[in-house]
Amino acid sequence: MPGRRLAGTVMVETKKLMRALAGEVQAVPPVWLMRQAGRYLPEYKATRARAGDFLSLCYTPELAAEVTLQPIRRYGFDAAILFADILLVPQALGADLWFVTGEGPRLSTVTSRADFDALKPADAIHETLAPVYETVRILTRELPDETALIGFAGAPWTVATYMTAGRGTPDQAPAHALREGEPAVFDALMARLTEATIDYLSMQIEAGAEVVKLFDSWAGSLKGEAFARYALEPAKTIIGAVKAKHPEIPVIAFPREAGERYVGFAKATGADCVALDNSVSAEWAAENVQVDGCVQGNLDPRHMVTGGQPLIDETKRIKAAFSKGPHIFNLGHGITPEADPENVHAMLEAIRG
Ligand code: CP3
């Protein structure tokens, strides 16, 4: 069992998530869910109503900590993920950000040199993001001893897709247009986001995050050389810089829909674990990705809506496929508002027995 040496004694790592990230193969894998704090839970909706709106919830540490803890109390997941959003970083850099109910995020856009020049420097983000660090500090006191605390940020490419379009897009066309049409502006934006992400993750770690995750939700629209330049390289830079300051902190990378570009991604970037979406089969990923170390994933989130025997069968199949290496059970993407909270219990029963 991996342990840390402290003043002549060996501290045995008891958290299942940390053990998987250190490479341990466990008969029952640790489990948590992307978006585990969210609108499928009535207690989340009640706290969000108290906060008034989503961004007020993110910036009110007591309430953000409360919604982080809700799925831990209800399900006993092996990890809690800090409640915040990847789009708080652009807001902290000076972009306007608001959420349209039923539609999603809206931001002021960066599509020219003048827009870029109006952004704040990376080290200015902490003024806006200080409440997030306070949420982390509250959680380090309130989480059960066996629950690991995950901090996170959006990867530069994914955050840049929202900053260039001003909203979510099906094909990330505005970001592709800017990187091709104005490469100097786009590269400057990527560099600013990379620096801000390093600072942001480092502050979360200093506040008490034990693991950090980098969400590159739109990595799948980058192919070939563009994938290397805008997904792999920034991840490598961020992971290298975070680990230079905090070598003991494991990093989970999620280049969603990378497909065959998942192969070798952990080795190339220094990530301790690669999170898999549900477009790749667990059997393929065990053979081609898990050979390099821990993987996370990858149940289709639709099973949380539809439930029944297919949910049980798929859960067991994924657990079995990854049983020969280190594995963290999760979905391939976030749980959706239509999910039935009872289906999460059924999934946990299928994993833990
Ligand atoms: O429980 C957790 O996973 C932690 C909190 C968390 C949220 N967003 C809360 C949230 C995390 C880790 C994120 C990451 C995030 N945010 C990503 C990357 C992961 C992914 O899903 O691909 C992205 C792309 C965003 C940007 C974002 N935030 C969008 C596109 C939306 C609107 C879509 C939606 O689901 O409403 C959000 C809003 C958001 N972030 C909600 C939550 C719980 C819903 C807000 C609400 O309560 O109305």
CA distance 174 to 139: 38
Supply 340's token pair.
Answer: 């039935």
Identify the residue whose C-alpha is closest to ligand 1 atom 8: 85
Q: What pLDDT does residue 295 have?
A: 98
Q: Please give the distance, rounded to the nearest whole angstrom, from the Cα atom of residue 83 to the centre of ligand 1.
A: 9
**Closest ligand 1 atom to the C-alpha of 213?**
12
> Ligand 1: residues within 6 Å at CB?
34-39, 48, 54, 81, 83, 85-87, 104-105, 152, 168, 215, 217, 334
Q: What pLDDT does residue 80 have?
A: 98
353 residues of the chain, pLDDT tens digit each: 344 445 556 667 889 999 999 999 999 999 999 999 999 999 999 999 999 999 999 999 999 999 999 999 999 999 999 999 999 999 999 999 999 988 999 999 999 999 999 999 999 999 999 999 999 999 999 999 999 999 999 999 999 999 999 999 999 999 999 999 999 999 999 999 999 999 999 999 999 999 999 999 999 999 999 999 999 999 999 999 999 999 999 999 999 999 999 999 999 999 999 999 999 999 999 999 999 999 999 999 999 999 999 999 999 999 999 999 999 999 999 999 999 999 999 999 999 99
Q: Which of helix, strand or coil describes residue 269?
A: helix
Which has the closest alpha carbon to 255: 240, 242, 236? 236
Distances (CA, A) of 96 to 108, 187, 216: 5, 21, 21
Which has the closest alpha carbon to 208: 243, 246, 240, 234? 246
Q: What pLDDT does residue 13 have?
A: 84
CA 77 to mean position of chain CA atoms: 16
For a pocket test of ligand 1, which of 34, 35, 66, 335 has the largest count of ligand atoms closer than 8 A to its C-beta?
A: 35
**Phi, psi at residue 349, to the nearest 5°?**
-65, -40
Q: What pLDDT does residue 12 have?
A: 76
CA distance 155 to 271: 13
User: Strands 294-299 and 327-331: what pairing?
Assistant: parallel
59, 97 Cβ separation under 8 angstroms: no
Give strand ranges (E) for 108-185: 148-154
> What is this structure's pTM?
0.96
Q: What pLDDT does residue 3 have?
A: 45
Identify the residue whose C-alpha is closest to ligand 1 atom 46: 54
Q: What pLDDT does residue 1 have?
A: 39
Identify the residue whose C-alpha is closest to ligand 1 atom 3: 35
- Residues, the chain: 353
**Closest ligand 1 atom to the C-alpha of 101?**
48
Supply 148's token pair.
Answer: 């690991």
CATH number of 4-352: 3.20.20.210
110, 189 Cβ separation under 8 angstroms: yes
